[in-house]
Structure 1
Amino acid sequence: MPALDLSQFHFTLFNALDIVLVALLIYQLYNLIKGTIAVNILIGLIIIILLNFVVHALHMTLLMKILDTFIQVGIIAVVVIFQQELRRFLLLLGRNASLQRNRAWWRYFSGNNDAAKDNYKRIKPIVDACKSLKQTRTGALIVFVRDYDEQSYVNSCEVMDAIISKRLLESIFQKTSPLHDGAVIISGNKIRSASCILPLTDNTDLPPQFGLRHRAGIGVTEANDATALIVSEETGEISYAKQGKVKMNISFAELEKLLNKDF
């Protein structure tokens, strides 16, 4: 048996870095599609690729031509099929690379604590409104976006452009209000729109008690650079969604910290 020649094999630090980066990339991609319908689609694509190897080995000409044609346009098909997951992945990269995410640098360049004081003024009426909504078990969905694109919401929302206040939020989500059924969009210092219809998440691993309000809140954070605050109509429980992940039954102190961080 001939000896294995390893003389041409050179493992360097950059090779190790390459393996680690690829592993991290695969892990992030797995987190993006975990629990969604995209997992089943990916399994289907893998089956087609394996079937193609079998067909070539057996020289099945007709199936070879069909599968080869499909695989030739595979990259375009993957982009079309996984466009939402690719969008979420690019948003994730953008969020992590954003200078605004690094609070120490941001405060260094902004120069004072005025931003923190303004932040508290925006957060307090939201937290106070949530206390009232929780007590009365009034369902609510509040979405926070960094960059508000009016054209994205104009067809499914009522444009408001109003100053954030406790009483306004309470009024919007009252069951007798014509605006209560849907989400409120907040950007900067303003309530930009209300009664917004949002896309639902495809995640199949959510708790069974999650209704349309929770699924819409999670779905909007999957497809956009947004966070969502959900108040359950059944229990009054407050949940907080970000990047497709949700924290359940959070306290008001934790809610204030989360809003302060994300604002």
Structure 2
Amino acid sequence: MFNGLIEIIKTMKINDIVDIAIIAYVMYRLILVIRKTRAEQLFKGIIILLILTKLSEWLQLRTVNYILSNAMTVGVIALLIVFQPELRRALESLGRSEFIKRNFFIINDDVQDIADVIGEICDAVQFLSRSKIGALIVLERNTGLNELIETGISLDSKISSELLINTFIPNTPLHDGAVIIRGDRIMAAGCFLPLTDNQNLSTELGTRHRAAIGVTEISDAVSVIVSEETGTISLAQNGRISRHLDIKTLKEVLLSMFKVKESKGPNWFKWGNKHAE
């Protein structure tokens, strides 16, 4: 067996290595996309079904093999339907890759002083946390959120900590739902976000936190959450949530995400696309 493996390696060409590397990378990315989602369990079920199909063929269980083989044929169409959210996430992830953006598309980004934007957000979050006022702030990045912006009340206002605080004051018209920020502007408030389907989350997380995670599963947006019950600050990105952050850590994480050096004066970066949809 070992000698046979050596012979295979000797006969391999560069294109074979490239072929294997591409397949390995695709499988790796696929695993990352479906990990800890409902698709993970479905994927395990498909593997078991494939094994049973092959086993029934070896054991010459013709009726069982016929049923399983036809189930697999129909299952291809079912997979496209069941895995639609995960497939969408995978394709969006591919479209957001830096290599694609730099080499195939020209993106006209507005240049914003993100350090000031993050400062205003953190000032508002600090006040809201101390006052135990629930809040959900979504920072749009490369994936357009126009369909979610349209579910709320359009503001298109210059961002300020005072405006963010007033938006989330209880018993006001806009305090429910999410605020969506694009660049240095608050695009809308009271927006409805999709809830995550992740069943492995803590039962302590309510609708606000699940919505914050949900929007980061379908886009590259970043969500900042303030708990109404405890004042706890959380941050969600790529379908994952980090909880119990202090305001200093939140600011450092946001600056790091957008590659801004706080100690070097004005910090300019390309962020907040004008999405024409």
Q: TM-score, normalised by structure 1?
A: 0.80
Show CA shifts across 1:103-152 (max 9, x none): xxx9xxx9xxx946x22232222111011001101111111113544344
Residue 226 of structure 1 and its aligned partner are, at CA, apart by 1.0
| Partner of residue 254, structure 1 | 249
Which SS does the other structure have where 1:159 is aligned? Answer: strand
Q: Distance in 2 between matches of 1:14 and 1:126?
A: 50
Question: What is the aligned counterpart of 1:197 among 183, 192, 205?
Answer: 192
| Partner of residue 139, structure 1 | 134
Query: Which one has more relative contact order, counting CA pairs under 8 Å at least 6 apart?
Result: 2
> Kindly, what percent of the aligned residue pairs are identical?
38
Runs of 4+ in structure 1 displaced over 6 angstroms? none
Q: Distance in 1 between matches of 2:218 and 2:128?
A: 27
Show CA shifts across 1:6-43 (max 9, x none): 64652456655554554443333222222221122112
| Partner of residue 225, structure 1 | 220
RMSD: 3.1
2:146 alignment partner AA: E
Q: Distance in 1 between matches of 2:229 and 2:20?
A: 48
Show CA shifts across 1:66-112 (max 9, x none): 433332344433222112112222222333325879xxxx9xxx9xx
Q: Are 2:73 and 1:72 aligned?
A: yes
Counterparts in 2 of 1:135 and 1:57: CA distance versus 1, 3 Å: same
Which SS does the other structure have where 1:48 is aligned? Answer: helix
Q: Distance in 2 between matches of 1:94 and 1:75?
A: 24
Whether contact under 8 Å (2:149, 2:180) holds in the other structure is no
Residue 250 of structure 1 and its aligned partner are, at CA, apart by 2.3
| Deviation larger for 123-132 or 26-35 | 26-35
Q: Are 2:187 and 1:186 aligned?
A: no
Whether contact under 8 Å (1:148, 1:187) holds in the other structure is no
Q: Are 2:30 and 1:29 aligned?
A: yes
Q: TM-score, normalised by structure 2?
A: 0.77
Aligned length, in residue pairs: 251
Residues 21-100 of structure 1: pairs in structure 2 closer than 5 A: 21-97=22-98
Residue 244 of structure 1 and its aligned partner are, at CA, apart by 0.9
Whether contact under 8 Å (2:89, 2:217) holds in the other structure is yes
Q: Are 2:151 and 1:150 aligned?
A: no
| Deviation larger for 131-140 or 17-26 | 17-26
Residue 61 of structure 1 and its aligned partner are, at CA, apart by 4.6
| Deviation larger for 127-136 or 179-188 | 179-188
Counterparts in 2 of 1:100 and 1:127: CA distance versus 1, 3 Å: farther
| Partner of residue 125, structure 1 | 120
Show CA shifts across 1:198-252 (max 9, x none): 1111223323322111111111101112111111122212111111122222232
Give ranges in structure 2 of 5+ residues lacking alignment: 259-270, 272-277
1:127 alignment partner AA: C
Counterparts in 2 of 1:90 and 1:99: CA distance versus 1, 3 Å: closer
Q: Distance in 2 between matches of 1:15 and 1:7?
A: 14
